[in-house]
Structure 1
Amino acid sequence: MLGFSPKLPVNEKERRWVDEGFARLEAMLGRNRLLEAKVVIPDAKHFPDAFDRSEASVEKLVHRVCEYMHIDRTRIKLEIFPDEAEELRENSLWSIQTNRPAGIYFGHESVMDEDGKAVIALKSSVLKDPIVLVATIAHELGHLILIGDGHLDRSTADHEPMTDLLTVFLGLGIFSANSAARFNHHDHGGGWHSWSMRRLGYLTQGVYGYALAKFAAERGEIKPEWTQHLSTNVRVYFKRSTAWLAKNAK
């Protein structure tokens, strides 16, 4: 009986990059960081604190993400800076924002805080979306692990995509994947409506789908329950990738 070969949501170059990226991260951090990573999902169990966009609530969120990523919170200083262009973007009838940084990591000596801490700055507009906020925090903390701890140099060509892949490796991939493309509806009154799509990060939904499938396969997870928290597109890409990995397992 003829069967159909599962089709990956990534091309061969992207697939190899993810596979090699997992191997690189394993060499840097150890395989146990992958196997023992806590899969963090957007629920009250993992984030029990009320979130009201205040600096105090953001601080609690940062503290929890630090805990999940095994980072000492005292190593960083948190800053929130205004997004001057937010109002202009929301008034556009249709906008696509690509790879615009929602956060900034300052970890080299010239911009270290006076007490020697690395500074992580977050755009105020990111506070409107807790999923994107967690993804941004995880990404910036990833810089602290990879660059701050000397595993990668800023001159490494793919250090930004590798930082996104690290969030998958350490169990925060649901947030990063679901933030890769976020659709928003804006009601301007008087019958006028607009829609915007925000693309966050450096990896596509397809790459995240494959990376999450790789993450599950490496951990021996079959039909993990956490996939129900993935956005529709990412979940489809995950299933296709899982089928491909099962058929092409070495």
Structure 2
Amino acid sequence: MLGFSPKLPVNQEERLWVDEGFVRLEAMLGRKRLLEARVVLPDAEHFPDAFDRSKASLEALVDRICGYRQIDRTRIKLEIFPDEAEELRENSLWSIQTNRPAGIYFGHESVIEEDGRVVIALKSSVLKDPIVLVATVAHELGHLILLGDGHIDRSAPDHEPMTDLLTVFLGLGIFSANSAARFNHYDLGGGWHSWSMRRLGYLSQEIYGYALAKFAAERSESRPDWTRYLSTNVRAYFKRSSAWLAKNAS
């Protein structure tokens, strides 16, 4: 009986980068952080507070994410900046926005607060999409862990992708993976409709699929229940990667 070898959704270079990234993060933070990370889900158990885009509800959400990331909330000052690119959807029936910053981390000495807090600024339009909002906050808090705590240097060529990978390593990868490609539809009236695709972050859906499979394999989770929260594409990439990892386990 012929068998088919599972095919990875990533190439060899991407696979090795993820594998090495897990090793690097484990050396920085310890394997215990990986094994004991709470997988955060987009449900009422993990985010029980109502979110209405107000400053109070945003603060409550950030407080909760800081708790999941084991970060002292008092180290952070949160700010919102306007989205000057919001008009893009009105000027095009199809638009692709690539790697536009949804959040900014200010942790260098020139902009750090007098009380020692770092500043995390979020684009106002991010508040409209809770999944993207959580992914953005998780990424910016990752900068605080990696850059702020001295684990990685800002000059490292892959420090941004590593910050995205950290969201997987610490249990918030579902949000980052599902935000890697977001499709939106707008009814402009008069029979006209607009479609847009926004790409958030530095890793593709394929890389997230493999990274999440690697995360599950490292924790000996053969069929994790949390995969049902993954988008269709990411879940498919996860399954292919899991099959490959199981077949090629050393």
1:127 paired residue number: 127
Q: Which runs of 4 or more aligned residues in structure 1 lie more than 6 Å from their structure 2 counterparts after TM superposition?
A: none
Instruction: Write out per-residue CA displacement over residues 99-156 of structure 1, whole angstroms, 9 at most, x where no aligned residue.
Output: 1110000001011022210000000000000000000000000000000000001000
Letter in 2 for 1:218: E
Q: Distance in 1 between matches of 2:85 and 2:168?
A: 30
Is this contact kept in 2: 1:209–1:237, CA < 8 A?
A: yes
- Residue 105 of structure 1 aligns to a residue in which SS? strand
What does 1:141-160 align with in structure 2 at a 5 Å threshold? 141-160=141-160
What does 1:55-204 align with in structure 2 at a 5 Å threshold? 55-204=55-204
Is this contact kept in 2: 1:94–1:195, CA < 8 A?
A: yes
Q: TM-score scaled by structure 1?
A: 0.99
Give the unaligned 5+ runs of structure 2. Answer: none
- Residue 195 of structure 2 aligns to a residue in which SS? strand
Q: CA deviation at 1:18?
A: 0.1
Q: CA deviation at 1:91?
A: 3.8
Q: TM-score scaled by structure 2?
A: 0.99
Give the unaligned 5+ runs of structure 1. Answer: none
Is this contact kept in 2: 1:90–1:196, CA < 8 A?
A: no
- Size of the aligned set, in residue pairs, is 250
Q: Distance in 1 between matches of 2:53 and 2:192?
A: 27
What does 1:200-219 align with in structure 2 at a 5 Å threshold? 200-219=200-219
Q: CA deviation at 1:90?
A: 4.3
Is this contact kept in 1: 2:183–2:196, CA < 8 A?
A: yes
Q: Distance in 1 between matches of 2:26 and 2:52?
A: 37
Two-structure CA RMSD over aligned residues (Å)? 0.7
Q: CA deviation at 1:92?
A: 1.7
Is this contact kept in 2: 1:90–1:186, CA < 8 A?
A: no
1:26 paired residue number: 26
- Residue 78 of structure 1 aligns to a residue in which SS? strand
